[in-house]
Homo-oligomer: A and B are copies of this chain.
Amino acid sequence: MSSFLLHVAVQPSSVGPPMRAARYLRGGPQLPRADFQLRPVPSGFAPQEQEYQQALLLVVALAGLGLGLSLIFIAVYLIRFCCCRPPEPPGAKSPPPGGGCVTWSCIAALLVGCTGIGIGFYGNSETSDGVSQLSSALRHANHTLTAIDHLVLEMVERLDEAVRTELTTLEEVLTQRTELVAATRGARRQAEAVAQQLQGLAFWQGVPLSPVQVAEDVSFVEEYRTMNNESCLSHGGRTNKKCMNEILSVRWWLAYVLLLLLELLVCLFTLLGLAKQSRWLVIVMTVMSLLVLVLSWGSMGLEAATAVGLSDFCSSPDTYILNLTREETGLGSDILNYYFLCNQAVSNPFQQRLTLSQRALANIHSQLQGLEREAVPQFPSAQKPLLSLEETLNVTEGNFHQLVALLHCRGLHKDYGAALRGLCEDALEGLLYLLLFSLLSAGALATALCSLPRAWALFPPRNPSASCSGSHLSEPFLHARLEPVPHLRSFPSCRRRPH
């Protein structure tokens, strides 16, 4: 299965720093893909195509095959060990040769398993970090997009309000001098032009895709997720689809933690069983090891398929995301290229609208200044609406600068880069660590399953209460030990000398 690790060749995106996982995996050869009829499948990321899905399912099936093979191997080994032992003379209580190495190899396998568990915890945490980085970047992008919409709405409403009230009042006041009324009408036209230009800047308005929804969809592997949908908690009986997603999503990260803890407990209790030579504990732990072995191979299949899919995605994310976003949002190529590429070669698609708005705002300002100079000495009642209009203009110009900053590609492109880094660096790295954990634990558990029954056969018969508490030896064991046993050494077991 290690060729999957080689396969995952992440190429640096246009985002900037090369992905960290790529540092380890660059130049790995592409694994050939195949569908269920074993026809080759191109390795481009295309999750909606059936043959690509089949190629991923085939990866899962390979893990199933590995599980089957290892189970067959263990069964054959144990059957051979149980049935094909050389006949011992009856009454010979000496353990079979190589017993010490069997127990110590079991301990070594469990230590390897514990190392794998440590790696698994690290991988789970990395994956969760990566996904949480992705989802926080998406939420931030959503915040920017909605802020643009709100700001545009606010500016347009403010300008409309000014046109409806102050400019109308001003026209009524200045009605005696036609050239001043004309200047006021000019300002009104400019304000309407600004409002119209601004409305074209709220490009995300009415777009059916919400980054927050995407963030919620991907956050099912996140660590620090809480059940914040109260309706799910209060109406336990009527669990709708969203609540089910919520519950499932909380459980994904937790499932890995539970699997890791289960394997850790199995390893530790097996060691305890060996130390106390407790037969029932070792038997229970053998059964549990079998269970965890199946779970490990299952998780390995899922991880391998996800890693293969993710590495395909991460090898050229820009094109795929650009096409997907174009389809989902219906936005023009110029806008999407501007935000997804954000370099000198792509010009700002809002440049013209911004410049026109800016010029119109400056024109309104000079017209208002002209009116103040000309009209206020003659019509003192014009001063109040003029001051109010200048105040509106100042606020609008401040908001305009904020809008320019929000619309610039820097912010949204940085979110895009952070999201990609979260997914293709941290999450992919975490997945590879999880894969390593699954590999190590599958190997360690298979070794332990082979050696545990052999170690168990070395235990003194019928002595289930052996412990540090100073229980006494049972009779058959005492009898056996009364003969000289030159091959046994004084490796201390967990027992006190009877006083």
Residue numbers of A with Cβ under 8 A of B are 17, 20, 23, 94-95, 97-104, 107, 111, 114-115, 118, 121-122, 125, 136, 224, 271, 275, 277, 347-348, 351, 354-355, 358-359, 361-363, 365-366, 394, 397-398, 401-402, 404-408, 410-411, 414, 455, 458-460, 466, 468, 473, 477-478, 481-482, 484-499
Contacts and interface: CB of A to CB of B under 8 A. Distances in A.
A348 B404 CA distance: 14
Per DSSP, chain A at the interface is helix
A101 B482 CA distance: 23
A489 to B, nearest CB: 5
B468 A486 contact: no
A323 B408 CA distance: 31
Contact of A358 (B114, B358, B482, B496): B358
Contact of A494 (B23, B104, B487, B497): B104
A100 B494 contact: yes
A98 B99 CA distance: 23
A70 to B, nearest CB: 25
Given A103-B492, A492-B455, A408 B401 contact: yes
A104 B458 CA distance: 18
Contact of A405 (B397, B405, B460, B497): B405
Contacts of A455: 492
A36 to B, nearest CB: 40
Contacts of A347: 398
Given A107-B275, A111-B271, 17 more contacts: A97-B497, A97-B499, A99-B490, A104-B492, A114-B114, A115-B118, A277-B491, A348-B398, A401-B404, A406-B410, A411-B414, A414-B414, A459-B490, A460-B489, A481-B486, A488-B488, A489-B495
A122 to B, nearest CB: 6
Given A468-B101, A481-B484, A490-B488, A397 B358 contact: yes
A103 B95 CA distance: 22
A398 to B, nearest CB: 6
A238 B100 CA distance: 58
17 contacts: A23-B224, A99-B490, A99-B492, A100-B492, A107-B275, A122-B122, A122-B125, A348-B401, A351-B397, A354-B401, A355-B394, A355-B398, A358-B358, A359-B362, A404-B404, A406-B410, A466-B489
Contacts of A486: 473, 478, 481-482, 498
Contacts of A491: 103, 277, 491-493
Contacts of A122: 118, 121-122, 125
Contacts of A224: 20, 23
B484 A482 contact: yes
A251 B477 CA distance: 57
Given A104-B275, A401-B351, A405-B405, A495 B487 contact: yes
A362 to B, nearest CB: 3
A252 to B, nearest CB: 20
Contact of A410 (B17, B365, B405): B405
Contacts of A95: 490, 492
A441 to B, nearest CB: 14
Contacts of A402: 408
A95 B358 CA distance: 93
A158 to B, nearest CB: 16
A410 B147 CA distance: 12
A163 B250 CA distance: 64
